[in-house]
């Protein structure tokens, strides 16, 4: 009898322990499997972002340089013929400085004609104009024309490459080094998506670059040789108007491109896209993201006159003040009114004044915080007035007070 009671007690205690364990487990779990999934998803779900098959990429606002999207944008990668953006930048810069005219003739050297890859099949001694050479680089990605122009601008290909690296250093490009002006495979030749976006941004400041980069087809040598632009976005994407493609086995497919819609100009660079045409597909995806999400707030274009201020002791009484760079930025759509502009200039300035001299700043604020500062510069030279003119000016002021 005693043993039976003990057995019943043991069973009872065991049942109670099982019951308590079951209740504790039930209380520890959420009310439903769906609730558990929702909670877990909320904790693990990443912030919405753009996916790209490119190894590295960047989307940049042209006016302000704002980064709107990036994927490993500072990682150094081979760039293939996207290299030619720096080649064209130095050509356009030299032309703007008056070192030569676009109509000047360039004679192709034997070395330039020996380049492989994309070319216009220059013959040693053949003459083409600077503009024809530049168009051949921009549209046909011509390696022979690139070297011919490098020799024309720099005196030798080696000196021109030194100029390319000097310009990269001047621009603060920390992950870029050039070993040739073409992008043909060679050691110690690399860039990053961010650095190349800055190069394209600088190229776009030159009307000559914009002109040649936007040409889709061109008849060279009087129509005997047809050029088709390798940047197919000029036909495939509304607003696309500039850029440079590139491909080698080492670099895969690359593209730096610009597109403008509704006052918003975006610059995109993709490096290391895996398959043919993916550099176009990924760039379109990145541009679509930018134009859908952001809105341009433009205060002034580069070179726009914003004010005239008084000049003291000068041959002229006033000087026009222009913007050195574009004044604007992008904001998420709906936030345009958060941007305010403020022009900071003195009431007057003493002569002499040099063209390009910094006189003041155009400052942009977002929600009261400074986000952009652009130099305001003199639009022209103004020499100091002669002593006789200064005396006449003083007498005129005296007479006007009587």
3-class DSSP assignment, residue 274? coil
CA–CA separation, 287 vs 260, rounded Å?
A: 10
* DSSP codes joined into one string, 24-41: HHHHHS-S-HHHHHHHHH
- In degrees, rounded to 5, the angle at the alpha carbon of residue 116 between the alpha carbons of residues 82 and 152 is 70
Instruction: Give 256's contacts (C-beta < 8 A, 6+ positions apart).
Output: 82, 85, 196, 197, 199, 200, 243, 244, 267, 268, 269
Residue (of 97, 83, 292) closest to 188 by Cα position: 83
Give the catalytic positions in this structure.
Answer: 81, 84, 141
Q: Which of 337, 375, 374 is nearest to 358 (CA)?
A: 375
Measure the CA–CA gap between 290 and 199, rounded to whole angstroms: 20
The CA–CA distances, whole Å, from 8 to 2, 16, 19 equal 10, 12, 16
- Largest Cα span, the chain: 137
199 DSSP 8-state letter: H
């Amino acid at each position: 009898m005693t043993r039976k009671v003990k057995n019943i007690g043991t069973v009872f205690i065991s049942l109670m322990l099982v019951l308590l364990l079951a209740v504790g487990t039930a209380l520890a779990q959420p009310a439903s499997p769906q609730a558990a999934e929702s909670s877990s998803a909320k904790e693990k779900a990443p912030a919405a972002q753009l996916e790209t098959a490119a190894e590295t990429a960047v989307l940049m606002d042209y006016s302000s340089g704002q980064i709107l999207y990036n994927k490993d944008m500072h990682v150094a990668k081979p760039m293939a013929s996207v290299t030619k953006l720096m080649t064209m930048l130095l050509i356009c810069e030299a032309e703007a400085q008056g070192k030569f005219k676009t109509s000047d003739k360039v004679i192709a050297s034997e070395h330039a004609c020996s380049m492989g890859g994309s070319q216009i099949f220059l013959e040693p001694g053949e003459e083409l104009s600077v503009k024809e050479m530049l168009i051949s680089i921009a549209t046909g990605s011509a390696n022979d024309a690139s070297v011919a122009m490098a020799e024309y601008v720099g005196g030798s290909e080696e000196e021109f490459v030194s100029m390319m690296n000097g310009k990269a250093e001047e621009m603060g490009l920390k992950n870029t080094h050039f070993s040739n002006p073409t992008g043909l495979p060679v050691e110690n030749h690399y860039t990053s998506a961010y650095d190349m976006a800055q190069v394209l941004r600088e190229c776009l400041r030159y009307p000559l670059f914009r002109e040649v980069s936007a040409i889709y087809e061109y008849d060279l040598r009087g129509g005997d040789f047809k050029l088709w632009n390798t940047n197919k976005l000029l036909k495939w994407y509304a607003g696309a108007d500039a850029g440079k493609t590139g491909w080698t086995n080492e670099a895969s497919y690359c593209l730096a491109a610009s597109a403008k819609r509704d006052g918003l100009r975006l610059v995109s660079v993709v490096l290391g896209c895996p398959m043919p045409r993916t550099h176009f597909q990924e760039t379109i995806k990145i541009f679509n993201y930018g134009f859908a999400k952001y809105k341009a707030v433009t205060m002034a274009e580069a070179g726009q006159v914003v004010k005239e201020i008084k000049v003291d002791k000068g041959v002229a009484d006033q000087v026009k003040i222009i913007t050195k760079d574009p004044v604007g930025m992008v904001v998420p759509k709906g936030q345009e009114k958060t941007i305010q502009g403020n022009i900071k200039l003195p009431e007057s300035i003493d002569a002499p004044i040099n063209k390009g001299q910094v006189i003041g700043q155009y400052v942009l604020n977002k929600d009261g915080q400074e986000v952009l500062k652009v130099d305001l510069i003199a639009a022209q030279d103004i020499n100091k007035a002669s002593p006789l003119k200064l005396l006449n000016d003083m007498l005129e002021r005296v007479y006007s007070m009587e």
